[in-house]
Chain A
């Protein structure tokens, strides 16, 4: 479904450094893969290139990104816009800032439908929003629908963002550290939710995190990045039990375990 070949991204503001330096991977329909790596290793930049969010005038690209056989890097804005919100959706790290502060959250969930299917009536659109919100684990929908972002908790806001992402049943969902801004319990719930969406709706999910433990518990496949490059790519059990690269071993050592805690 998604095919990334030798992707390189360079910001024109720092022309001597590749923020993403030759990343290649393939993703199958309905797969859930995790990308891990330390801060600044290029995870977000990779995700942004996949979603077509980087402006041509800010960055230089090399390589190809194909979603369902369609080239994402070279097409013009209109083509990308048609994919965004239909085939592809993104969930950000900071749910509060990702939402329009003075718009009720309900209509924001409907944004993708409003943009791509203006022919759908407001009532049907609302029904779809309710369904997406329910699938995102929200309840008391009537009330939540009428709320403004600042009235809801972080966990609920992230669920709203997820609802907004899945309302159009995208084939690929990119979640860029979706739980970093949340407390541990909420984190677990949101991660479960993403797993469920992947299982029940067959949405392919790329889960970005700097926490190998999180990705490990969730994803069938893990990509480890360092300094803009992929250092290891394989099934989760293999990465966990039999890491080949020194850096992966360090990451695993960094996971707090019970033995370490009580020693």
Chain B
């Protein structure tokens, strides 16, 4: 921790600060928000920012700040799950393909290529149009669509590492492929994977927001940043521009924090290699 405070890596510092701040707000939001995010105050519709409602109210008279806090939590959690699925499955597939090599590798990588050929959000929309948007469908669908990018990174690292002498040495000690993959190679590529995972998280946030903006996010009664932005757009001109502004600000902050974190980690890793 001290090392981070002292370092001149401003990306990392700002990233940790912003993301940490958001995390704390989300955590507090789990137990307390200024108002109940579902409570509608008919007397106070589309009110501008005031002391009572710092971010103002929406068209049903709900407190926007409370909804933004909860929505950020939803978006964060959903993106986290999406990213986790992509990361875990992508790592397994990439490790197997890279370590094994040959036809097996080719096959897996071509499948990944095929998936990446389409934009994630578009493909997700098609799949959800076919299978319907259940509560958790979006998590699975986007999670699976996130697999190829991780698989590729992990694969290329494995191809590089498996010819290293230390891997040969472990083989000569009789270590099994599974042991070599998990005990020897994976820890060695951790420093490459971490920034990638952070940037992936960032993409997951954007994907989730886009999906719920298009109306196919998680269940409708939970506030989520994308869905709120969708609702806010009808009042952008005339009615209540601050609505969209505050929701947008939350998205920007979340994405900026994560991408700064990712950039920072990547810089730190490059520096470590020197």
Residues of chain A whose beta carbon lies under 8 Å from any beta carbon of chain B: 51, 53, 57, 81-86, 89-90, 92, 94, 97-103, 111-112, 115-116, 161, 164
Contact at A97–B164, with CB atoms within 8 Å?
A: yes
Question: Taking A100-B188, A103-B184 as contacts, is the C-beta distance between A92 and B169 under 8 angstroms?
Answer: yes
Q: A57-B102, A92-B165, A115-B179 are in contact. Are A100 and B172 (CB under 8 A)?
A: no
Residue contact A102 to B176, C-beta cutoff 8 Å: no
CB B176 to nearest CB in A, in angstroms, measures 7
Q: In the complex, how many angstroms separate the beta carbon of B153 from the nearest chain A beta carbon?
A: 18
Q: Is B168 an interface residue (CB 8 A)?
A: yes
B interface, over-half SS: helix
**Chain B 158-172: CB-based contact to A (< 8 A → 1; otherwise 0):** 000000111011111
- Other A-B contacts than A99-B166, A100-B170, A112-B173, 4 sampled, CB-CB below 8 A, are A53-B168, A53-B171, A85-B175, A111-B170
Q: Are A98 and B173 in contact (CB under 8 A)?
A: no
A-B contact pairs, 27 of them (CB 8 A): A53-B171, A81-B175, A81-B176, A85-B175, A86-B174, A90-B169, A90-B172, A92-B165, A92-B168, A97-B164, A97-B165, A98-B166, A98-B168, A99-B166, A100-B184, A100-B188, A101-B166, A102-B187, A102-B188, A111-B170, A111-B173, A112-B173, A115-B174, A115-B175, A161-B169, A164-B169, A164-B173
- Could you tell me the distance between the alpha carbons of A92 and B174 in the complex, rounded to whole angstroms? 16
Residue on B nearest A97 in the bound complex, by CB: B165
User: Is B172 a contact partner of A115 (Cβ separation < 8 A)?
Assistant: no
**Chain B residues, Cβ within 8 Å of A98:** 165-166, 168-169
Work out how many contacts link A and B, with CB atoms closer than 8 A. 60
Chain B residues within an 8 Å CB radius of A85 = 172-175
Q: How far is the CB of B24 from chain A (nearest CB, A)?
A: 32
| B interface, size bucket | 10 to 19
Task: Knowing A97-B164, A100-B188, A101-B188, say if A84 contacts B171 (CB, 8 Å).
Answer: yes
Taking CB atoms, residues of chain B closer than 8 Å to A89 are 172-173
Q: A115 CA to B173 CA in the complex, in Å?
A: 8
Taking CB atoms, residues of chain A closer than 8 Å to B169 are: 90, 92, 98-99, 161, 164
Chain B residues with CB below 8 A from A97, complex form: 164-166
Residues of B within 8 A of A (CB): 102, 164-166, 168-176, 179, 184, 187-188
Inside 8 A of B164's CB, which chain A residues have their CB? Answer: 97
In the assembled complex, the Cα of A116 lies from the Cα of B165 at a distance in Å of: 21
Cross-chain contact A84 with B173 (CB below 8 angstroms): yes
Task: Across the interface, name the chain B residue whose C-beta is closest to A116.
Answer: B174
Q: Which residues of A contact B172 (CB under 8 A)?
A: 51, 53, 84-85, 89-90
CA distance A94 to B179 in the complex (A): 23
CB distance from B247 to the nearest CB of A (A): 43
Distance, CA A57 to CA B105, complexed state (A): 15
For A84, the chain B residues whose CB sits under 8 A away are 171-174
Query: Considering only CB atoms, which chain B residue lies closest to A86 in the complex?
Result: B174
B175 partner residues in chain A, CB cutoff 8 A: 81, 85, 111, 115
Given A57-B102, A103-B184, A103-B187, also A82-B166 (CB < 8 A): no
State in angstroms the CA–CA spacing of A116 and B179 once bound together: 12
Chain B residue at minimum C-beta to C-beta distance from A94: B165
Q: Which of A51, A82, A94, A103 has the most CB of B within 10 A?
A: A103
B179 to chain A, nearest CB (A): 7
Cα-based distance from A51 to B171 in the complex (angstroms): 10
Give the residues in chain B near A51, CB-CB below 8 Å: 172
Question: Which 8 residue pairs spanning A and B have beta carbons closest together?
Answer: A85-B174, A85-B173, A84-B174, A97-B165, A112-B173, A111-B173, A81-B174, A100-B166
Instruction: Give the distance to chain A from B98, nearest Cβ to Cβ, in Å.
Output: 15
Residue of B nearest to A51 (CB): B172
**Bound: A74/B172 CA distance, A:** 17
> In the assembled complex, how far is the CB of residue A102 from the closest CB belonging to chain B, in whole angstroms?
6
Taking CB atoms, residues of chain A closer than 8 Å to B168 are: 53, 92, 98
What is the distance, in angstroms, from B188's C-beta to the closest C-beta of chain A?
6
Shortest CB distance A175–B (Å): 12
Give the docked Cα–Cα distance between A100 and B187 (Å). 10
Contact B174 A112 (CB under 8 A): yes
**Cβ of B187: which chain A residues have Cβ within 8 Å of it?**
102-103
Most buried by A among B165, B169, B173, B175: B173
Distance of A86 from chain B, by nearest CB (Å):
7
> How far, in Å, is A131 (CB) from chain B's closest CB?
17
What's the Cα separation between A12 and B200 when bound, in Å? 40
Q: Which residues of B contact A94 (CB under 8 A)?
A: 165
Which residue from chain A places its CB closest to the CB of B188 in the assembled complex? A102
Query: Hey, which chain A residues are within 8 Å of B165, CB to CB?
Result: 92, 94, 97-98
Considering the chains assembled together, what is the distance between the CA atoms of A98 and B168 in angstroms? 8
Report the bound CA distance from A184 to B253 in whole Å.
60
Complex CA distance for A115 and B179, rounded to whole angstroms = 9
Tell me, in angstroms, the Cα distance from A51 to B172 when the chains sit together.
7
